[in-house]
Structure 1
Amino acid sequence: MHDEAPLRWSGSDRILTEIETPAVIVDAALLRRNIAAAAARARSAGVALRPHVKTHKSVALARMQIEAGAAGLTVAKGSEALVFLEAGFRDITVGQPLVDRRKIARLLAAARDGGARLTLIADSDAGIAAVAAEAAAQGVRADVQVKIDVGLHRCGVSPAGGEAVRLARLIADDAALRFAGILSHAGHAYSAPTPEAVTVIARQEHQAMLGVADALVRAGIGVPCISVGSTPTVWLGDRFDGISEIRPGNYVFMDLTQVSLGVATRDDLALSVLATVISCNDTYAIVDAGSKVMSSDRGPHGSTRLAGYGVARRLGDADGADMPVASLSEEHGFVAHGGRRPAIGERLRLLPNHACTVVNLARNLVVAGQGGIEGGIETWPVDARACVS
C-alpha cells in the first residue's frame, strides 16, 4: 500500500543533479520539522522524549534532537552506546538486554569516565546478575530497568503475574544496582492493519505498563520511570497519562512503512536514495542502488505490508506516477518503468520501505538544504554505522 501523493522535498532538484550516486539524501527542512514535531508531541503529552538513535546513528543528528528538547538517547546496542558516550552525550538507555560481562564492563567504564548516566535493561536473573557482578567489580551502581513484553514477544517479561515485581526486587535489593523503572516496545504495531488498530495497541501498552507500575508500588517498590516507545504508537497513541518518557526513532526520517500505517504522509519523508539509471530494457530501468544501499527490508519486525522494495520518481516530475522498485540485487535496483523509459544517466529519487536499515548501509548522509540555503549541502558521517555488537 502506498500513498500516491508526489515525492516532495523542500529543495531544488538542481542540487540532486550534482551529487555522485548512489547517495542517501536527507532533506534538512523536513528533518528539522520532524524533530520539532516529536518534541512538541512530548511537551503536549507531558512526557520526556528519549529518541532511539539506531534510526540515524548520527552524532550531528542526535545533537539536533537534544537541542530540540530530548532528555537523552536510546541506543540499540552496546557498541552504539560507546559511540555516543565518546561524543559527549550524558544520558543513554541501551534498549537490548546485555548478558555479556565484557560488553557491560566497557559501557560502565565509559559512562563512569564520562560522567554519564547509563541505563541498562534486563528481563532475566542471568542478565541482572551479569550487570551486578560487573558494577560491583568497578565499584559503581548501575541503573537497570525491567523490560516488559507488551505483545511483540521478543524480549521482556509478561505484564501479568509477578515476574516483573520479582525482578525489580532483585535489582532493588542489590547494593551494586539501582532499580530505574520499566520499559516496553510495542513493535507489533508495525503489523497492525489500520491506524485505528495501532491506536488500540498503544492503549493496550499504556494499560499494561500502568498495571505493572501499580503492582510494583503495591509491593513497596517505587517506579522512577515508565518508558514506552515506537514511532507508530507514539504518533497514533492518545493516552500518555502516568507515562514518564517516549522513545520513537524512525520519526526523524519517516519512510514508506510509516506511510502505509497512516503515521506519515509523503510530505513527511525526509530521507531518500538518489540513484542513476545505468541501463534500461523494456521492463526495467536499472539503477546503481541495490540491496547494499536500499536494503531488502520490507519493514520493521518482518512486516510484509509493502510490495517491492520502495518507489522511484523522476526528478522534476512532481505529478508523475510511482515507479515501483520491483527487485534488488546487491548492486542493482530494478525499477519498473511501465513504458515510461528513463534515459541512461537520468537521476531517480527512491523512497525506501525502511529508513533505519538504509542508513546503516551508508557511510555518510548527504544533507541538502542545510542552513536554509537552497544549494547548501553537508555530508554527515553515520558515526555508529555497523555497530551491531
Structure 2
Amino acid sequence: MQMIKTNILTLSANIAAMQRIADGAGVRLRPHAKTHKCVEIARRQVAVGAVGLTVAKPAEAAVFIRAGIRSVKLCYPMIEAEAIRQVLSLAREHGAELIFVIDSALGLQVLDGIAAGFGAVVPVYLEVDVGLHRCGVAPDGPALVNLAGQAAASPNLDFLGLTAHAGHAYAATDRDAAARIAEEERLTMLAAKQRLAENGIAAREICVGSTPSIWAQRDFTGITEIKPGNYVFNDLTQLGIGVVGWDQLALTIAATVVSANDTYLIIDAGSKTLTSDLGPHGNNSITGHGRAFTLDEIPGEHPGRTITKLSEEHGWIAHDGKPLPLGTRLVIYPNHSCPVVNLTDRISVTENGTEIAQWPIDARGCS
C-alpha cells in the first residue's frame, strides 16, 4: 500500500535552514502553507521564528486561524464579497491578523466596502507582476500608482506595500539562473516602491519569494518579508534547478511493485498519489513522474528508476530487462511535493526509518 512520508530530521533541517536565511538577512519569514496544509508543520515553522503564514485560499486561512495561527496573509486576489466577509469575521472572532492582497480595482472596491462595514482597518498589499505574468499589476503601468494611491487614501485599509511571486524561477536551468531571477525581482520591486514614493505613496513592506528564488537569493537589501513554501519538503523540481541536494528532500512516497511484464514494472502509486504534475511554471529539468529507488539504493549514488507513465492507480517503470521481484518496496521522490500532499489525508512521519507519528493534512482540499 502506498503511503506519503516525511523524514522528520530532514523536514526540521529545512525549516531551520530557511529561518536562518531570513534571520541572517534581517527579513521576516511568512512561509506559504499551501505546500504542507498541515497545522503541526505550521506550528513548527512559527516555533522557530516565522511571523505567521501565507495561504492561497480563504478556506486554508480558516483552518490555520482556527488552529491558533495569529497572523495569516491571504495571498490571492479576492473579489468575492461573501468569501471575504466570512474569513474576516472568523479572523476577528479568533483575534487573528488577516492580511489581504489586491491587484484590481474591483478587488480594492470590494475589500474597502467590507472593511467599512466591519468598522475595521484591514491590512492590504498590492501584488506586482515581476515576470510570471499570472497575477499582479505591471510595475511600470498606471495601475500600480492608481491602486496603491486609492488603498493608501482609504480610511478602511492599511496599505502595507508591495508583494510579488517570482514563480518563473521554477523554469530556471540552474542555481545561478534562479539567483538572477531573484535579483530581477528585488530590483523590480524596489523600482516600483520608488515610483510610489515619487507619487507621495509610502510602501512600508516589500514581500517576495518562491522557494527556488529564495534558496538562491544573494542580496535581500530592501526586502522586508519572504514567503517561500515548497522548502519544507523540496522535491525533484528544486533538485533539478540545483538549489538543493538529495539530502534536503523530505517528502517521499512508499510504493510496491505489484505486477510486471516484458517492458514495465507496475507499482501501486498512480496519478491519484503522484499527480501528473511534471513540474511547475515551465520547469524542464524533469523527465517522467518521479524517481523510484529500492530500500537499499542511495539517491545520488544510484540513478534510480524513472516512473515513465501513470494511470489513476498504477505507475509504469521501464525495467530495461532488469525487473524487480513482485513485492519489492520502493521509495519514490515526487516531481512536485505541493499537489502530492493535497492528495492524502495523513502523512507518515518517520525518524531513522521508523514511523513516529501520523499528522493530518488539515487543509487538504481547501482550494
Distance 1:81 1:129 in 2: 21
Q: Report whether the alignment pairs 1:31 with 2:11.
A: yes
Q: Counterpart of 1:83 in structure 2: which amino acid?
A: V
Q: Report whether the alignment pairs 1:109 with 2:89.
A: yes
What are the within-5 Å matches in structure 2 for residues 1-389 of structure 1?
Answer: 21-318=1-298, 319-369=301-351, 375-388=354-367
The secondary structure found in structure 2 opposite 1:95 is: strand
Q: Identify unmatched segments of 5+ residues in structure 2.
A: none
Q: CA RMSD in A?
A: 1.2
* 358-367 or 160-169, which deviates more: 160-169
Count of aligned pairs between the two proteins: 365
Q: By how many angstroms is 1:215 displaced?
A: 1.8
* 337-346 or 76-85, which deviates more: 337-346
The secondary structure found in structure 2 opposite 1:96 is: strand
Distance 2:342 2:295 in 1: 25
Distance 1:48 1:251 in 2: 16
* 148-157 or 220-229, which deviates more: 220-229
Distance 1:347 1:328 in 2: 18
Partner of 1:14: none
CA deviations on 1:298-333 (whole Å, 9 max, x unpaired) are: 111243431110110011233543111000100001
The alignment-based identity, stated in percent, is: 45
Do the aligned partners of 1:31 and 1:270 also contact (CA within 8 Å) in 2?
Answer: yes
Do the aligned partners of 1:119 and 1:180 also contact (CA within 8 Å) in 2?
Answer: no
Q: By how many angstroms is 1:374 displaced?
A: 6.0
Q: Identify unmatched segments of 5+ residues in structure 1.
A: 1-20
Distance 2:277 2:130 in 1: 24
Distance 1:161 1:332 in 2: 48
Do the aligned partners of 1:276 and 1:288 also contact (CA within 8 Å) in 2?
Answer: yes
Q: Counterpart of 2:364 in structure 1: which amino acid?
A: R
Q: Tell me the TM-score normalised to structure 1 length.
A: 0.91
Distance 2:19 2:81 in 1: 35
Do the aligned partners of 2:115 and 2:157 also contact (CA within 8 Å) in 1?
Answer: yes
Do the aligned partners of 1:111 and 1:117 also contact (CA within 8 Å) in 2?
Answer: yes
Distance 1:374 1:273 in 2: 13
The secondary structure found in structure 1 opposite 2:354 is: coil
Distance 2:318 2:4 in 1: 21
Distance 1:194 1:32 in 2: 25
Q: By how many angstroms is 1:157 displaced?
A: 0.6
Distance 2:241 2:181 in 1: 13
Q: Counterpart of 1:182 in structure 2: which amino acid?
A: L
Q: Tell me the TM-score normalised to structure 2 length.
A: 0.97
Q: Counterpart of 1:236 in structure 2: which amino acid?
A: A
Do the aligned partners of 1:94 and 1:119 also contact (CA within 8 Å) in 2?
Answer: yes
Do the aligned partners of 2:348 and 2:355 also contact (CA within 8 Å) in 1?
Answer: no
Q: By how many angstroms is 1:376 displaced?
A: 4.3
Distance 2:223 2:336 in 1: 28
Q: By how many angstroms is 1:238 displaced?
A: 0.8
Q: By how many angstroms is 1:340 displaced?
A: 2.5
Distance 2:151 2:8 in 1: 43
Distance 2:182 2:204 in 1: 21
* 117-126 or 301-310, which deviates more: 301-310
Q: Counterpart of 2:178 in structure 1: which amino acid?
A: V
Do the aligned partners of 1:298 and 1:305 also contact (CA within 8 Å) in 2?
Answer: no
